[in-house]
Structure 1
Amino acid sequence: MTHSDALDPRELRAWIAFLAASHLLENRIEQQLKHDGGLTHPEFEVLVKLAMSDGRRLRMSDLAREVMVSKSRLTYQVTQLERDGLVRRTACDSDRRAVWAELTDRGREALEKVRPGHRRVVRENLIDLLTPEELEVLGEAFTRVAQRLSG
């Protein structure tokens, strides 16, 4: 089969189910984050990456790679987060062209406020519906897809 061939029924079913599930789950997560903390999903991901990083900060270029968005899109998200006092930008001492994004105490508090609901939504609508074997297969499969798309 060449890459230009139409999807067979099994492939089409998998593709349509993936699209539906990913869109519906994304919408549910977005609703929960907005309701619990006034955050968008991309803003939440920025806060999570900063919280997990050394010193709760990353260079903007590294953060863009981590959250898989363009630098201009990240700049917009960080500007919104900075306006709300959740992130602060500072100059990098060792590289004048680089800028750090740093999670503030208020940002950490905002993250703590939305995380329980986020975990609940992910568990109820994905994790708890799958067997351990299915989770293993999905983890391996989507890791492979992500590596293809990011490489």
Structure 2
Amino acid sequence: MGDTRWLDDDEQRTWRTYLWASRLLYESLDRQLQREAGMPHTYYMILAMLSEAPERTMTMTELAQLVRSSPSRLSHAVAKLEDQGWVSRCKRPGDARTTLATLTGEGFAALVEAAPGHVEHVRRVLFDRLTPEQTRQLHEISGALLGGLNAPAVADLGMPGGR
């Protein structure tokens, strides 16, 4: 215990503020999507990542990495999305070990319907509260945190072409 680098008062305040802000932000996003689109934020992210993939298809392994989910948790979520008709799964031709997830037309339509309200909510609870300089700083700080967390799967933020 003698080697512990305890947080000073400023670090402790910053840490707790960050924890509460990130938790409450995620909960707010989840509530908004549940209320307005009938889906949790996790499902929205799955649909969004598939919508940006070539042919709206990717392997379940790739999708799990992008949405930061365990394979079993993702499989459960995708099964629910299949029940809705929003995603379909099939084996990769010539490779029975690899499962592909594809966003269906109905799933894309659900995403298109949910996106305006979700984006407006993100803008209202996050970006409208920050100056352009704070937005840039938040991006830099978040990038530094991701780098320290060894998150190569999100290095390009899960966006095709590294957008």
Q: TM-score, normalised by structure 1?
A: 0.93
Aligned to 1:47: 47
Report how many residues are paired: 150
Q: Which residue type is aligned with residue 10 of structure 1?
A: D
- The structural deviation recorded for 1:13 is 1.5
Q: Is residue 67 from structure 1 mapped to residue 71 from structure 2 by the alignment?
A: no
* 5+ long unaligned stretches in structure 1: none
Q: How many angstroms apart in 2 are the aligned matches of 1:90 and 1:51?
A: 17
Aligned to 1:132: 132
Q: Which residue type is aligned with residue 103 of structure 2?
A: L
Farther-moved stretch of structure 1 (5-14 vs 122-131): 5-14
When the two chains are superposed, the root-mean-square deviation of aligned CA atoms in Å is 1.5
Aligned to 2:100: 100
Contact map agreement 1:86 1:106 (CA 8 A) in 2:
yes
Q: Is residue 89 from structure 1 mapped to residue 89 from structure 2 by the alignment?
A: yes
Task: Write out per-residue CA displacement over residues 77-127 of structure 1, whole angstroms, 9 at most, x where no aligned residue.
Answer: 101111111100011013220010000111011111111111111111111
Secondary structure (helix, strand or coil) at the match of 2:88 reads strand
- The structural deviation recorded for 1:34 is 0.7
- The structural deviation recorded for 1:3 is 7.7
Matches within 5 A, 1:5-20: 5-20=5-20
User: Percent same amino acid among aligned pairs?
Assistant: 35
Task: Write out per-residue CA displacement over residues 63-88 of structure 1, whole angstroms, 9 at most, x where no aligned residue.
Answer: 11111111111111101111111100
* 5+ long unaligned stretches in structure 2: 153-163
Q: Which residue type is aligned with residue 39 of structure 1?
A: M
- The structural deviation recorded for 1:10 is 1.3
Q: How many angstroms apart in 1 are the aligned matches of 2:93 and 2:144?
A: 37
